[in-house]
A and B are shown apart, each in its own frame.
Chain A
Amino acid sequence: MSILDSKIPQGPLAEKWTKHKSAIKVVSPANKRKLEVIVVGTGLGGASAAASLAELGYKVKAFCYQDSPRRAHSIAAQGGINAAKNYQNDNDSVFRLFYDTIKGGDYRAREANVYRLAEVSPNIIDQCVAQGVPFGREYGGLLDNRSFGGVLVSRTFYARGQTGQQLLIGAYQALNRQIAKGSVEMYNRHEMLDVVVVDGKARGIIARDLVSGKIKRFGAHAVVVATGGYGNVFFLSTNAMGSNGSAAWQCYKKGAFMSNPCFVQIHPTCIPVHGDQQSKLTLMSESLRNDGRVWVPKKKEDAVKLQKGEIGPNDIADEDRDFYLERRYPSYGNLVPRDVASRAAKERCDAGFGVNAEGKAVFLDFKYSIERLGKDVITARYGNLFQMYEKITDTDPYKEPMMIYPAIHYSMGGTWVDYNLMTTVPGLYSIGEANFSDHGANRLGASALMQGLADGYFVLPYTIGDYLADEIMTPKTDVNAPEFVEAEKAVTDRIEKLFNVKGSKPVDYFHKKLGHIMWDYVGMSRNAEGLKKAIEEIKVIREEFWKDVRIPGELDNLNPELEKAGRVADFLDIGELMARDALDRNESCGGHFREESATEEGEAKRNDEQFTYVSCWEYKGEGQEPVLHKEDLVFENVKLTQRSYK
């Protein structure tokens, strides 16, 4: 029996959320005014939660490391947001969205949470439209939809290729309105460095003012962490440069369990790495696979010539091109899910058929659709993406195929939460990408935005009341309590320890080294030997880091290197836990591919008998091995099948 109580309500799937809402406690308006909530992070989850909680009457303090809440990385999401509106009359429904999400996640997510996500999804679109989000529309004035990978209906709402930006601006506007009213105190350029637990409950945070360097204490009745994913553990990813796992990692160290950390999404269509000067990878929207054909040369000698720059892609005749996705997966072709497309690209490149100088790229070719549809149609659909590609690579994708390669994109794993989105620390909540709950082992396109806003607008504002209703007699948190003093001291000590290493190498040196290990051993393809090696090698880098890192500048001034150092110190720990988790899960599912668990044709093979659980890691202290708990996943409404895209 698991020690974890997921608090999934009893009863039929479709009634769970409604029943739960009527069963949980509510706080009166007079009492809400006395209760304080801290929200860390201002992406779709954080901004929507902070605004909604303030509208309800709670006193909210919100934090972001950026100079404005509007800059959180949700802003970079391109394609769209899913919702079960059935506006297209194509027989979409809450159940269908639920089913697609559970199946897309390779049956490693909780039924009840995913169903609720699908259930509240239509409300999100209503809310965003009311805020003034300029979604794409039909000529009749009604909302337009797109289709996306892995599904059979059109349920994706979009605002050109900038859906994340527009949804975030909507949430940011709502947040700004509450800031103006004084119901949200906004702390920009502040980074949470610890969560403070008093008598077993989360009561506040320690944050560093990134401009003055001051370490500050903030108290509240509950703390919400909405700090996104940890993809930057790989150094190169599509995440923003500042995206980090530190807030979630401090929660872990204070008793919040970390779940499925090995589940990260590798997106198949990113601009490849060039040379060794790169700091960041750029995503090209998944929608491009609707009209682009993926290929590499059939003959190895052609690949070698391409790698040396002796010939160009247009020198290779159609019959000498290997459209390997169409060859391997005739029914889905170029539209197989992200994890499958990524692995197939790696397989070809590993076999020596890569097409750039590094041998780590495949072609995404629009020649055929331009011939079929005309250039104008392609421009109308993808003009901004083509322009972006050309600015970055100096190659015209109308004339030459794009070069693409998979890159780290999203973290499905994250802090364990119950049905109320509360972690294993009472009063500490985790929402959006930061938690583990809805995407299983693989996230479908256009579902990240849906989850962030579902949590922030429509789930947390209800469930947090159930906890806070018992806190109405709790006075304002005293930030001079010994727990705050101690936490602040620990934060200060760590910063000083880092600063006083005064070694010889910049933070990036260690981050890159960690990234290489993660990519090679904990990346697209994993095996026990490699994972064990990764754990050992990370330990070596960690030791070197704490002996030889050099942080210039001052502690009491803006100091980006100091910020990076703290984040990389945590990435070293997160990376190790990811490798441990991947080692434990000796099956292939979603984005997690274990070479030991594959079919004869090299396809992923899930092992439901042994691994139908959520891994939940408990921190046991520095240098101690973490303890693995398991939350068994129970499927009552869907039948588990092996995914096949043949």
Chain B
Amino acid sequence: MADKILKQLKIKVWRQKNAKSKGRFETYTIENISTGSSFLEMMDILNNDLIEKGIDPIAFDHDCREGICGTCSLYINGRPHGPDTEVTTCQLHMRKFKDGETIIIEPWRARAFPVIKDLVVDRSAFEKILQAGGFVSVNTGGVPDANAIPVSREDAEESMDAAACIGCGACVAACKNSSAMLFVSAKVSHLAKLPQGKVEADTRAMSMVAKMDELGFGGCTNTRACEAECPKSISIMNIARLNREYLKARLSR
């Protein structure tokens, strides 16, 4: 479809100098944006305008711009990754907005993800959860032939569905409790569905859940907001599986 030009947009955006300072909204005007541009290209143009005007540009996280690295993390018009489905912020395009519209941009909001600057948040809590057990304890070398352990196609596919998580944090941002259950359950499911991951399944579920609680993420109340906003369509079936794995682990202690 032919691209159109959005003559003017108002961008109302969260500005916060650093983790310690108090933030506030600022509104900027931007003109002549092609509907074929991506949302982050619009941000690039706005930032270059701001630089030329002597205003500090808006800091935001982004990297691959192909929807796979999980770096971009904007909360746009009240939705993680904005008004489109199954996309990350970097895949969102300006054709989803109307000329003259005011677009509100906020960082992920969660106690476990403190703001570093403007729209950039610290997601190292996710790292700590994975370090608590999101792996299979094998060293390099000395492993069996790849075809020595058959895995049913169904299990491999279900494992892959969960492993598609990009660790962006939209699930936490979408949840009124800032729960990380979808994220944790995706990793637990990815490994629990494979024979390689089963050996440590009990300790993995226990220690990842303990770490998640320790880091200040809230509990899950089954609102399914996480699933609705997940750019990779990770299913809450994984949360059910995590609960099962966790219970199984508790009972076997």
Which residues of A are interface residues toward B (Cβ below 8 A)? 48, 51-52, 55, 66-68, 70-73, 75-76, 85, 87, 122-123, 125-132, 134-143, 159-160, 162, 164-166, 169, 172-174, 176-177, 179-180, 186, 188, 211, 238, 240-242, 274-275, 277-280, 282-283, 309, 387-388, 391-395, 457-458, 461, 504-506, 508-509, 550, 552-553, 557-558, 560-561
| CA distance in complex: A202, B80 (Å) | 44
CB-based contact B41/A279 at 8 Å: yes
Q: Taking CB as reference atom, which chain B residue is nearest A395?
A: B1
Which residues of chain A are within 8 angstroms of B196 by Cβ–Cβ distance? 129-132
Contacts of B65 in A (CB 8 A): 240-241, 279-280, 282
Inter-subunit contact B136/A67 (CB<8 Å): no
15 more A-B residue pairs beyond the given contacts A138-B153, A173-B135, A176-B127, with a C-beta to C-beta distance below 8 A: A75-B64, A75-B68, A76-B64, A87-B147, A125-B146, A130-B196, A132-B197, A135-B156, A137-B152, A140-B150, A177-B135, A274-B3, A274-B37, A279-B65, A388-B91
Complex Cα distance A388/B67, Å? 9
Whether the pair B71, A557 counts as a contact (CB closer than 8 A) is no
The residue on A at minimum CB distance from B91 is A391
Report whether A180 and B131 are in contact in the complex, using a CB–CB cutoff of 8 Å: yes
Instruction: Report A266 CB to chain B, min CB distance, Å.
Output: 18
Whether A173 and B136, one on each chain, are in contact in the complex, defined by CB atoms closer than 8 angstroms, is yes
Cross-chain contact B151 with A173 (CB below 8 angstroms): no
Check: B76 CB closer than 8 A to any chain A CB: no
Nearest CB in chain B to that of A172: its residue: B130
Residue in A48, A66, A137 whose CB lies within 8 Å of B63: A66
CB <8 Å contact, B120 and A277: no
Give the residues in chain B near A180, CB-CB below 8 Å.
Answer: 131-132
A122 to B132, CA, bound (A): 30
A294 to chain B, nearest CB (A): 22
Of A169, A211, A278, A506, the residue contacting B37 (CB under 8 A) is A278
Q: Which residues of B contact A123 (CB under 8 A)?
A: 141
Asked if A550 and B51 make an inter-chain contact with CB atoms under 8 angstroms apart, the answer reads: yes
Task: Pick the most buried of B67, B130, B144: most chain A CB atoms within 10 A of its CB.
Answer: B130
- Shortest A494–chain B CB gap in Å is 20
Whether B146 and A85, one on each chain, are in contact in the complex, defined by CB atoms closer than 8 angstroms, is yes
B-chain residues with CB within 8 Å of residue A66 when the two chains form the complex = 63, 69, 71
Q: How far is the CB of A87 from chain B (nearest CB, A)?
A: 6
Judging by beta carbons under 8 Å apart, are A71 and B124 in contact?
A: no
Which one, B99-107, B159-167, B240-248, is touching chain A? B159-167
Instruction: Jot down 16 A-B pairs with beta carbons below 8 A, ordered by A.
Output: A68-B124, A71-B63, A71-B70, A73-B69, A76-B68, A87-B147, A127-B140, A130-B196, A134-B194, A137-B153, A141-B153, A143-B147, A160-B164, A179-B131, A274-B34, A506-B47
Please name all residues of chain B whose beta carbon is closer than 8 Å to the beta carbon of A139 when the two chains form the complex: 153
Interface string of B32-45 (1 = CB under 8 A from A): 01101110111011
Residue of B nearest to A169 (CB): B163
Instruction: Kindly identify which residue among B36, B44, B146 contacts A143, using a CB–CB cutoff of 8 Å.
Output: B146
A129 to B157, CA, bound (A): 14
* Nearest 10 pairs of A and B residues by beta carbon: A141-B150, A173-B135, A130-B143, A134-B159, A134-B160, A280-B65, A180-B131, A129-B146, A52-B140, A506-B51
Residue with the highest number of chain A CB atoms closer than 10 Å, among B41, B160, B193: B160
The answer on a CB contact under 8 Å between A561 and B194 is no
How many interface residues does chain B have, given as a range?
35 or more
User: Which residues of chain A are near B1, meaning CB under 8 Å?
Assistant: 394-395
- Distance between Cα atoms of A138 and B18 in the complex (Å): 51
Report whether A279 and B124 are in contact in the complex, using a CB–CB cutoff of 8 Å. Answer: no
Partner of A132 from B56, B136, B153, B167 at Cβ < 8 Å: B136
> Which B-chain residue is minimally distant from A456 (CB atoms)?
B140
Residues of B within 8 A of A127 (CB): 138, 140-141, 143
Contact of B156 among A55, A70, A136 (CB under 8 A): A136
The B contact surface, by secondary structure, is: loop
Is B61 interfacial (CB 8 A cutoff)?
yes
Interface residue ranges of B81-107 to A (CB < 8 Å):
84, 86-87, 91, 93, 95
A176 B140 Cβ-Cβ under 8 A: no
* Most chain A CB atoms below 10 A, which of B18, B126, B193: B18
Cβ–Cβ contact B146 & A552, under 8 A: no
Residues of B within 8 Å of A388, CB to CB, are 67, 91
CB contacts between A and B, total, < 8 Å: 227
> Is there contact, CB below 8 Å, between A73 and B146?
no
Cross-chain contact A394 with B95 (CB below 8 angstroms) = yes
- How many angstroms between the C-alpha atoms of A589 and B35 in the bound complex? 40
Nearest opposing residue in chain A for B45, CB measure: A277
The one of B33, B55, B62 that contacts A552, using a Cβ cutoff of 8 Å: B55
List the A residue with the shortest CB-CB distance to B94.
A277
Q: Which residues of A contact B138 (CB under 8 A)?
A: 127, 130-131, 174
User: A414 vs B132: C-alpha distance in the bound complex, in angstroms?
Assistant: 37
The answer to the question of B190 belonging to the interface, with a C-beta cut-off of 8 Å to chain A, is: yes
A558 touching B151, Cβ below 8 Å? no
Closest chain B residue to A87, Cβ basis: B147
Contact pick for A67, options B66, B123, B145, CB 8 Å: B123
Q: Tell me, in angstroms, the Cα distance from A169 to B124 when the chains sit together.
A: 16
| CB–CB A558/B59 < 8 A | yes
Chain B residues lying within 8 Å of A173, measured Cβ to Cβ, are: 130, 134-136
> What 0/1 readout, one digit per residue, does chain B (114-130) give for beta carbons within 8 Å of chain A?
00110010111011001
The reply to whether B136 and A241 form a contact with Cβ atoms under 8 Å apart is no
CB-defined contacts of A125 to chain B, threshold 8 Å = 146
> Which B residue's beta carbon lies closest to that of A210?
B116
Q: How far is the CA of A387 from the CA of B233 in the complex (A)?
A: 14
Least Cβ distance of A97 to chain B in Å? 16
B26 close to A (CB within 8 Å): no
Tell me the nearest residue of chain B to A277, going by C-beta: B37
Known contacts A130-B144, A131-B196; A71/B163 CB under 8 A: no
Most chain B beta-carbon neighbours within 10 Å: one of A51, A73, A240: A240
Q: Which of B71, B120, B122 contacts A71 (CB 8 A)?
A: B71
Does A241 lie within 8 Å of B62, measured CB to CB? Answer: yes
Q: Are B140 and A552 in contact (CB under 8 A)?
A: no
Pair B93/A392 contact, Cβ less than 8 Å: yes
Distance (whole angstroms) from the CB of B116 to the closest CB of chain A = 6
**Segment 179-236 of B: residues with Cβ below 8 Å from A:** 190-191, 193-194, 196-197
A176–B131 touching, CB < 8 Å: yes
Q: Is there an interface contact between B152 and A141, defined as CB atoms closer than 8 Å?
A: yes
A560 touches B57 (CB 8 A): yes
* B54 contacts A552, C-beta separation under 8 Å: yes
> In the assembly, what is the distance between CA of A569 and CA of B150, in Å?
51
Is the CB–CB distance between B51 and A561 below 8 Å?
yes
B149 contacts partner chain A, Cβ-Cβ < 8 Å:
yes
A137: chain B residues at CB < 8 Å are 150-153, 156
Known: A76-B64, A277-B41, A558-B116. A391 touches B55 (CB 8 A): no
CB contacts (< 8 Å) of B252 on chain A: these are none
Shortest beta-carbon distance from B106 to chain A in Å: 17
User: In the bound complex, how far is the Cα of B37 from the Cα of A394, in angstroms?
Assistant: 11
By a CB distance below 8 angstroms, the chain A residues around B123 are: 67-68
* Complexed CA–CA distance, A279 and B60 (Å): 15
Contact of A71 with B69 in the complex, beta carbons under 8 Å: yes
Q: Is residue B251 within 8 Å, beta carbon to beta carbon, of the partner chain?
A: no
Q: Nearest residue in A to B44 (C-beta to C-beta)?
A: A279
Tell me, rounded to whole Å, the shortest Cβ–Cβ distance linking A302 to chain B: 18
A87 partner residues in chain B, CB cutoff 8 A: 147
Task: List the B residue with the shortest CB-CB distance to A556.
Answer: B18
